[in-house]
Amino acid sequence: MDGISSRKLTWGICIVGIAIAIISFFFLPEIIPVHFAGNGVADDFGNKIEIFLMPILLLTVTILSGIKSIKYVLMHSKTWLTVGQYNLMIDCVLGIILIAEIFMIYASFV
């Protein structure tokens, strides 16, 4: 239970996202897809520097989720959350953002 209640996984996901963006930046083409339609086809493109928008979002969510006042509001709403449930919820959100980042990188090469 200590693994779920600690924020190590949260920061780990954030660091992995930042590392993936930095490493892939050197291999990406100049124009990358940044928005996808419902069928998975890219419909908007941008400069490769925009790959850093996802790690910025990861870092923002990670930092904001650690602020005690935000954490208190989310944990003491109508449904009470334990620390483990709260961290798991944040980790799932970060995981979805990380998957979106990986999909953007993958779509750049296809």
pLDDT, tens digit, 9 for 90 and up, residues 16-50 = 999 999 999 999 999 999 888 888 888 899 999 99
Separation of alpha carbons 47 and 16, rounded Å: 22
pLDDT, tens digit, 9 for 90 and up, residues 55-80 = 999 999 999 988 888 788 777 777 77
Percent of the chain with pLDDT over 70: 95
Q: What is the pLDDT of residue 2?
A: 55
Q: What is the pLDDT of residue 62?
A: 92
Q: Return the closest-CA partner of residue 59 out of 106, 97, 3, 103.
A: 97
Separation of alpha carbons 32 and 43, rounded Å: 11
Query: Taking the model in full, what pTM does it have?
Result: 0.81
